[in-house]
Structure 1
Amino acid sequence: MSIADNLLAFTFAATLLTLTPGLDTALVLRTATVEGKQQALRAALGINAGCLLWGAAVAFGLGALIAVSELAYDLLKYCGAAYLAWLGLNMLLRPRSALSPVEAGATPAANWFLKGMTGNVLNPKIGIFYVSFLPQFIPQGQPLVAWTFGLVSIHVVIGLIWSTMLIAATRPLAGILRREKVIKWMDRTTGMIFVLFAARLAFSKR
C-alpha cells in the first residue's frame, strides 16, 4: 500500500477502536455528567496523554519488552487492575449526593488529568495493542519512531474529537444529570464498570 493508503486504513481502524465503548468512554461520560465539561476535558486530555506515553514507550522499545516479558506484563497489569478497582470501589461505596463547590469547579486542574492518564498508562493492553497494531501501517523503510508517533497522534486526535462529542452530548441534559439520585446512580454505575474492567484486566491473558 502507498503511504496515503496506510494512513487512511489506520485512521479508519483507529476510529472504529475509539467508537467501541470502553473504560475511556465511561470515564469521560461520567466526569462530564457529574463534574462538568472542564473536568471531563481534563480527563480526556489525560487519557490521550497516556496514549502518547505508550506511543513513546513502543517507539523506544519498552512496549516490545512488555510484549515478550511475562513478568513485566503481569506487573503492569495487576497495578492497573488495582488502580481501577480502587477508583471503582470508591465510587461504588461512597457515591456523592451533590456537587460541592470544589467539585463544581475548583478542583485542581491536574486531578482528572492525572486520573485519566494513570488509568491508560497502567493498562498494558494499550501497549500490546500498539506493538501489534501499529507496525501493520508503517511502510517498509520508513523511520519507525517518527511513524509510531505520527500514528499515535492520529489516534489521539480521533480520541479527543470523540470525547468532545460525548461531552457536548451531556450538556442539554445537565440539569437532569446533576440531580442527587442521578449523581448517585452515575457514581455507582461507573464504579461497577470500573470494577468489572479491573477484574477483566486482572484475569486477562495476552
Structure 2
Amino acid sequence: MESLGIQHFGAFVLACIALALTPGLDTFYILARSGREGRTVGMAAVLGINAGCIVHTLAAVLGISAILMTSALAFAALKYLGAAYLVWVGLRMLLARQSARQPTVTRGRGLSAAFRQGMLTNVLNPKVALFFLAFLPQFVSMQAPHPQWGLAVLGVSFIGVGMLWSMVLAMLGGQVHRLLDARPHLGQWMDRACGTVLLGFGIRLAMQRQQ
C-alpha cells in the first residue's frame, strides 16, 4: 500500500463502512426496486449504482471531477440534469394510475431499467463526484510516484465495501417483495411512497449549492 502512496488504509476502510451504513438515495433506491420487483432486480440496481461509482472513481483519478469544483456552470448543469431525472422518475411512480394487479411503472422493465436508473441517479449527482474528489485524496500521498494508482485502489475498495452492504439491502428488499405479492394493494401505496421520496431527493438536489 505504501508503494502506491496509500496512508491509513484501516481508517479508510472503517470510514467506508460507516458511510455505507448511512442511509441515502442509494439505500432507498435499492430497497424500493428490490421491494417492488424482487431481489434479482434489486441486485441489478446495486450493480448500476456501483457502476456509477466506478465512473466517479475514474473521474477523480483523471482529475475530471475537479472541473465541478472550479466551474459553477458545470456543477449547475450536472446538478439540474440529475435533479430533473429524479423528479421525472418520481413523478412517473407517483402519478401512475393502474390496477393493483397490473405491473407498475417500473415493474416489467426488469434488470436493464434497474441498472440504468441506478447508474444515472449516481452519475448525475455532482455531490457524489465531489465526494470522491475530496475523500479519496485524504488517504493518498500526492508525493508518491503514481498517486493515481493509489486513488484507483481506494476507489475500488470503497466500491467493494458499498457493494457488500448494498447486496444485503437488496436481499432485505426481496423479503418485502414477498409481502407485496401477497397483498397487491400495498404495491400501489409503495409506488406512491417511492415516487414521493424520489421527487423529494430531486428537489433537494436542485436546491444544493456548490461548496
Q: Secondary structure at the match of 2:101?
A: coil
Q: Secondary structure at the match of 2:128?
A: helix
Deviation at 1:172, TM superposition (A): 3.9
Q: In the alignment, is the contact (CA less than 8 A) between 2:48 and 2:116 conserved in 1?
A: yes
Deviation at 1:5, TM superposition (A): 5.7
Deviation at 1:109, TM superposition (A): 3.5
Deviation at 1:135, TM superposition (A): 0.8
Q: In the alignment, is the contact (CA less than 8 A) between 2:79 and 2:126 conserved in 1?
A: yes
Deviates more, 1:167-176 or 1:113-122: 167-176
Q: Secondary structure at the match of 2:141?
A: coil
State how many pairs are aligned.
204
* Matching residue of 1:53: 55
Q: What is the aligned-residue identity percentage?
A: 36
Q: In the alignment, is the contact (CA less than 8 A) between 2:37 and 2:177 conserved in 1?
A: no
Distance 1:122 1:95 in 2: 28
* Matching residue of 2:170: 167
Deviation at 1:108, TM superposition (A): 5.6
* Matching residue of 2:91: 89
* Matching residue of 1:123: 125
Instruction: Point out where structure 2 has 5 or more consecutive residues left out of the alignment.
Output: none
Q: In the alignment, is the contact (CA less than 8 A) between 1:35 and 1:99 conserved in 2?
A: no
Distance 2:161 2:10 in 1: 13
1:202 corresponds to 2:206 = yes
- For the structure 1 residues 99 and 53, does the alpha-carbon distance in structure 2 shift closer, same or farther, using more than 3 Å as the test? farther
Q: Secondary structure at the match of 1:135?
A: helix
Q: Secondary structure at the match of 2:8?
A: helix
1:7 corresponds to 2:13 = no
Give the RMSD, CA atoms, in angstroms.
2.2
Distance 1:107 1:92 in 2: 17
- For the structure 1 residues 120 and 197, does the alpha-carbon distance in structure 2 shift closer, same or farther, using more than 3 Å as the test? same
Using structure 1 for the length normalisation, give the TM-score. Answer: 0.90
